[in-house]
Structure 1
Amino acid sequence: MFSQFKLFKRAASRIPPVKLQYKNMLRDPSVKYPPPKQINLQNREWPSKVLSKAPRWLSTDLRDGNQSLPDPMSIAEKKEYFHKLVDIGFKEIEVSFPSASQTDFDFTRYAVENAPEDVAIQVLTQSREPLVRRTVESVKGAKKAIIHIYLATSDVFREVVFGMSQAEAIAKAVEITNLVKSLTKDDPSMQDTEWNLEFSPECFSDTPVEFAVEICEAVKQAWQPSVETPMIFNLPATVEVAGPNVYADQIEYFCKHITEREKVVVSLHCHNDRGCGVAATELGMLAGADRVEGCIFGNGERTGNVDLVTVALNLYTQGIAPELDFSDMESVIDVSERCNKIEVHPRSPYSGSLVVCAFSGSHQDAIKKGFSYERQDQRWAIPYLPLDPKDIGRTYEAVIRVNSQSGKGGSAWVILRSLGLDLPRQLQVSFSALVQDKADRLGRELQTEEIVNVFNSHYLVSSPLLIKDFEITKGKNDARVITAQLTLQETGQEITLSGEGNGPISSFLDAISKKFGLLLEVVTYTEHALGSGSSTKAATYVNLSFVDDAGEKVNRWGCGISHDVGQASLDAILSVVNSLVNEGKLKV
């Protein structure tokens, strides 16, 4: 064997190496794409911190999310979505870009007039005076209003798009802040509203952190926030350009260097360009952020905003109350899909239709055992399921779904959930083979009803023979001998049988053997209670063996269910007999 291996190795060494050919991608991408800029953050603290409470949440579904839709929401759809966000528990909702259109302005007025008193209406505006005035007008009379202004601060946007120096950017930000201040909290006619300002250094993720702090300091000085009403600095990963760890460093640097930290709310607005929006948000929270902006199910431009459902339920499954209610997940999905006209992906964390489903046999077996395991405490600990589906309004019936890849655990789970029958392991193996065969033939997943029908047609066979009457008596001369007297009914005629044994089952088998000339022997017998209280029934499972016409030993399972355990046992045996009769292997 060793010499053969050496020959193979020698031959393989003569095969010329295959050169990997890239059609469009660069073999050395570093010539085009530089590595992300690292932050000079000494003694970073976020890696050792642990989340212990929910952040303040802002939904931007109606603004950022809506702007990203090929088919923007109608007024009616935006109204429905707004009320669903309020029902979920959002206290801050960015509803529109009011200066963009009359439709957005009109909807903003609706939100102002219909928002609960504890819900703040947030609106976004570009840093131009006419647009700012129009935006402030749209939220006039609100109980709580947040004016959100932004200015691109990354070098590439500031220099390439706007041709603006850092000093000019700071001056512009201060100018617009002063304008908003004069139109809102400094205006005596506007004092019925609790005004606040949110400033976003757009493309913060690609902005030198020193400059981000500098421009925000200037804005803060102009706005003059207080401890009681801190202003909001939103630090967006407008484009995700580096790993979540770099973003966390940027957030921690900002939190440590901005002055009067107690007068500032640090907010996160992560996009998902690198697929790390949730991770960046969670690390940003560890780094000191107080607030999270995003969309339900991650809607938004390009790859979307961070998915607030995922962030909230990640907290929930770590024992932290998220202060958002997703206990009726299906209704949230329904509103989102109808209004956004975008389906929630079936693999989307927590919300996807397949995320609490297992098709794999080993996964199904582990989940089934997890549900059967008796624990000393109330802690949730089910293999493969980090969240109890019931917590988000889903049933356990969807947890295990059966196709041709499924094993014994999946089929057994369906029968347990549907019929309450806890099948013995050997029966699980036999049953799963039948289910797999049907799934293979149909080429698809089997529905619960189909799986139950397979079980009933093979193990709960109640015709053509039916027990009409039976009597079990002890022998007169020897009490160890049990006699079974039975009356079977078959299509209108009655058949009387009699047999002897050392118990009800063996005497019944003796009667069957005499009638059909077939020696049936018990290989396995198990039983369990079905239900509780006065409605309790017995479920019995009998594995019988016999020698067929070809001289081969065959095993067959039968199941019986009855209020009387003796009747259930006989029904299980008769189910096997009925199967053989129906297959033409026995004649009545």
Structure 2
Amino acid sequence: MSQIKIFDTTLRDGEQSPGVNLNQVEKLEIAKQLERLGVDRMEAGFPASSKGDFQAVKAIADTIKDTSVIGLARTTKQDVDIAWEALKGAASPSLHLFLATSPIHMTYKLKKTPEQVIDTAVSMVSYAKQKFSQVEWSAEDASRSDWNFLAQIIEQVIDAGATVINLPDTVGYTTPNEYGEMFRYMRENVPNIDKVQLSCHCHDDLGMAVANSIAAVENGVTQVEGTINGIGERAGNAALEEVALALKIRSDFYPYHTNLKLDEIKRTSDMIAKFTGMSVPGNKAVVGRNAFAHESGIHQDGVLKNTETYEIITPEMVGVKSNTLFLGKHSGRHAFKDKVKEFGYELSDEKLKEAFDAFKLLTDRKKEVTDDDIFTLLTDIQTDTAAASKYEMQMFQVQYGTANIPTATVSMKTPEGDIVQTACTGQGSVEALYKTLEALIAEEVNLIDYQISSVGGGKDALAESHVQLMVNGETVNGRGAAQDVVEASANAFINAVNRHVVQQTNLKKEVIRS
């Protein structure tokens, strides 16, 4: 069976999802999990886009050793040089260059003639090859490009040193038949096409990203690009977990395989959902909470007799485990440490103690502590930004009921070290709390989105909240968990504000250094 390489762009294209704003610690944890998942290549970011992205890509490149780390760049020398500085510490530094080739993009966005586009692409691939042994070149909006022109530019960038040719369906416009035919045409009309790998990159605007990716594989593509959970701009990208499972389950039809460790899919999906705040729909293929649920009596009867009657994927195949008690209030530090390692987290002694203390506190309040509970605790602690200058809630109290006006009182420590306190009312408990927090925070804050969900089930389940705030004109996400829904909401709000505070502090430090 032929191997299909998996190119994950969750950290680059996935982070371009509206409202998603990952910090460096979160990106590094995602990169480590993607390495455990077994992706062949990971696009860590766009180094030239910002100092923050440059630092995150550099940290990932310096850490990840078993997966090729890639940076995105426009066809400019400055972008290529910045990408090299970020990636040169990687085990196998690679570059992803892109340039639009469709008539509408060349005319209105690039304002270049087809000849100028070819010259730019060739010169920049040649320049990049002086630094990077692996150079992927993408024809942005390939699915709306002239095929004859595509064949010309592809031939020339291959001669210039490109090692991978990617033909993306940038706007999710094409169909499986059209997309497959495009790759077949290039294989038949580009004389040096055998010198490179062909790659596909599909968006899901018409709901056909996975189908288009499979069609590309059927027509000679050996690398599939996409994201975990299918996140990305607009309607997102091809969901890599769906592509991998389609090839696995239908191996009788598709003579291909990937190197993904399929039992790491669920954990990877959960991590991406938590960090991005983009919850996985219940009916999502492979990783949705209903993917293995059966409500129909006929279905339940069939599954009880033989799971293959209605389940083509076993829960264990993708890493879904029964959410049973694994540790309790009498569990010791050693057992807890072993569980932390099982989750793939590497905690410092200080954070391990913090996590264990939080776990013990949870066992006093919650009858059953599950894997999901522990994963949530570890995620929050591992990605918490350790900074002296940030907001810390000292105390909060909310009074509400059907017969009185909801009122919240909050005492908070400011980044300057002052203790401030006030109270506000609202139409509900969360509104009262958020108005109080806004009154105490010096930054200008506006709530854009608020979500609350439970971790697992039961009346004593942990609550997890995600918020999106506009802080001093910048969109920031926040995440918080607690056994009380109001406390979880407060934690998420403060987490978002602190992300902005820490980011601004780091930017000031960079300015001083420079």
TM-score category, normalised to shorter length: 0.5 to 0.7
- Determine if contact 2:140/2:170 at 8 Å carries over to the other structure: yes
The structural deviation recorded for 1:326 is: 2.7
Q: Give TM-score scaled by structure 1 length.
A: 0.53
2: CA distance, partners of 1:100 / 1:84? 24
Summarize the alignment of residues 11-26 of structure 1 with structure 2, pairs less than 5 Å apart.
none
Which residue is equivalent to 2:58?
109
Which residue is equivalent to 1:385?
311
The unaligned stretches of length 5 or more in structure 1 are: 1-51, 186-194, 226-230, 372-381, 399-446, 450-588
Correspondence for 1:93 among 32, 35, 42: 42
2:224 pairs with 1:286: no
2:69 pairs with 1:121: yes
CA distance 1:75–1:395, change in 2 (3 Å): closer
Give, as a single letter, the amino acid of the residue that structure 1 aligns with 2:314: D
Which residue is equivalent to 1:233?
165
2:241 pairs with 1:315: no
CA distance 1:73–1:171, change in 2 (3 Å): same
> Which structure has the larger Rg?
1
Summarize the alignment of residues 400-411 of structure 1 with structure 2, pairs less than 5 Å apart.
none
The structural deviation recorded for 1:130 is: 1.8
Coordinate RMSD, CA, aligned: 2.2
Which residue is equivalent to 1:504?
none
1: CA distance, partners of 2:42 / 2:282? 27
- Determine if contact 2:155/2:192 at 8 Å carries over to the other structure: no
Give, as a single letter, the amino acid of the residue that structure 2 aligns with 1:334: D
SS in structure 2 opposite 1:109? Answer: helix
Correspondence for 2:134 among 196, 207, 210: 196
SS in structure 2 opposite 1:180? Answer: helix
- Determine if contact 2:37/2:264 at 8 Å carries over to the other structure: no
Which residue is equivalent to 1:67?
16
The structural deviation recorded for 1:329 is: 4.0
Which residue is equivalent to 1:348?
284
The structural deviation recorded for 1:175 is: 1.9
The structural deviation recorded for 1:86 is: 0.3
Which residue is equivalent to 1:222?
160
- Determine if contact 1:95/1:122 at 8 Å carries over to the other structure: yes
1: CA distance, partners of 2:223 / 2:457? 44
SS in structure 2 opposite 1:61? Answer: coil
- Determine if contact 2:143/2:173 at 8 Å carries over to the other structure: yes
Correspondence for 1:207 among 145, 162, 169: 145
SS in structure 1 opposite 2:183? Answer: helix
Correspondence for 1:170 among 97, 118, 121: 118
Which residue is equivalent to 1:78?
27
The structural deviation recorded for 1:307 is: 0.1
2: CA distance, partners of 1:397 / 1:135? 43
- Determine if contact 1:69/1:340 at 8 Å carries over to the other structure: no
**Number of aligned residues:** 324
2: CA distance, partners of 1:170 / 1:66? 30
- Determine if contact 1:58/1:293 at 8 Å carries over to the other structure: yes
2:300 pairs with 1:364: yes
SS in structure 2 opposite 1:123? Answer: strand
SS in structure 2 opposite 1:311? Answer: helix
The structural deviation recorded for 1:137 is: 1.7
CA distance 1:281–1:448, change in 2 (3 Å): closer
- Determine if contact 2:141/2:170 at 8 Å carries over to the other structure: yes
Which residue is equivalent to 1:500?
none
Give, as a single letter, the amino acid of the residue that structure 2 aligns with 1:333: S
The structural deviation recorded for 1:395 is: 5.0
1: CA distance, partners of 2:298 / 2:33? 39
SS in structure 2 opposite 1:327? Answer: helix
User: Identity of counterpart residues, as a percentage?
Assistant: 28
The structural deviation recorded for 1:133 is: 1.5
CA distance 1:54–1:314, change in 2 (3 Å): farther
Give CA-to-partner distance per residue, 1:454-473, whole Å, 9 cap, x none.
xxxxxxxxxxxxxxxxxxxx
The unaligned stretches of length 5 or more in structure 2 are: 325-455, 459-514
Higher relative CO (Cα under 8 Å, sequence separation at least 6) belongs to 2
SS in structure 2 opposite 1:351? Answer: coil
